[in-house]
Amino acid sequence: MNDLLALIYLVFFAAIAGGAFALMTQNLRNSQESDSLRAPRKRSRVHPEAPQAGEEVLYVDFSRERLEQIFQQTP
C-alpha cells in the first residue's frame, strides 16, 4: 500500500512540476514576443515632478553639526 501511495505522489508531483515549468517557459516566451512587438517609447529626460528652472525647492539639512545645533536650542 505504501508503495502505491508513493508512486501516486511522485506522479502528481511530476505533473505539477512539469506544469509549473511549462507555464514559466510560456510566460517568458510571451513577454519576449510582446517586447519585440511594442513600439519604443519616447522617454523625456526630465522627470515630470522635477522642479522647473528658477523654482525653489525645500532642502533639509541632516548633517551632524546642524542637528546638534537644533538639539542645543530646544529648552
Read off the C-alpha cell for 74: 530646544
What per-residue confidence (pLDDT) applies to 75? 65
Task: Answer yes or no: is 24 within a domain.
Answer: yes
What per-residue confidence (pLDDT) applies to 51? 84
Task: Please list the pLDDT of the chain residue by residue as tens digits (75 residues).
Answer: 889 999 999 999 999 999 999 999 999 998 877 766 666 667 667 787 888 888 888 888 888 888 888 888 866
What domain range includes position 2?
A: 1-39
What is the C-alpha to C-alpha distance for residues 63 and 69, in angstroms, rounded to an integer?
Answer: 10
- Got the DSSP string for 6-72? HHHHHHHHHHHHHHHHHHHHHHHHHHHHHHHHSPPPP--SS-TTSPPTT---------HHHHHHHHH
Task: Answer yes or no: is 2 within a domain.
Answer: yes
For the entire predicted model, the pTM comes to 0.45
Task: Answer yes or no: is 21 within a domain.
Answer: yes
Task: Answer yes or no: is 13 within a domain.
Answer: yes
